[in-house]
Amino acid sequence: MATESTTADPAARTARPSALRRLGHRWPTWVALALVGVTFGDGEPPLGFLAGLLVFMPLCYLAFGAFRGEFGGESGRRGLLALQLAGLLGFAGLAAVALSTGEPAARWVVAAGWLAHAVWDFVHHRTGRVVPRAWSEWCCVVDLLGAVGILLPLWWR
């Protein structure tokens, strides 16, 4: 007669990650939440700073892509470089429009740019191209919550 073991299979226990491991897996999100809290927690950052970040963000993507060798060789990879450059021009254009526009429209333009960059990050996260997934996750959270942080003062006035 076989006896049944009362202990679970060790492999089964490790197959499902613990709550702590699941939280740890999302470390980019936690870092992003902290950064947004520090950046927006003590008031509105200057519009020029926020517009400048809108230009800096796609430059980071270009640097990551170049470092990772994402843009060389085959025509599809060159197309990826063209797409990143188009993104840089688009985000820089939004920053320029915001800086040449008065309040409150300028804040709406910058917030729209940050929101668009959150979508950009999400797409990069799903494809796993150009930047590490941890970076695109972090940046998506920063951009999404940053857009909200840019707009909140407009709703409170």
Q: Which residues, including other chains, have CB under 8 Å from residue 62's CB and lie 6 or more apart? A: 84, 85, 88
Cβ proximity of 55 and 114 under 8 Å: no
pLDDT number for residue 154: 81
Residue boundaries of the structural domains of the chain: 27-156
Q: What is the pLDDT of residues 51-81, one digit of tens each?
A: 998 999 999 899 989 988 888 776 557 788 9
Nearest residue to 138 via CA among 45, 60, 50: 60
Tell me the percentage of the chain whose pLDDT exceeds 70.
Answer: 74
pLDDT number for residue 68: 87
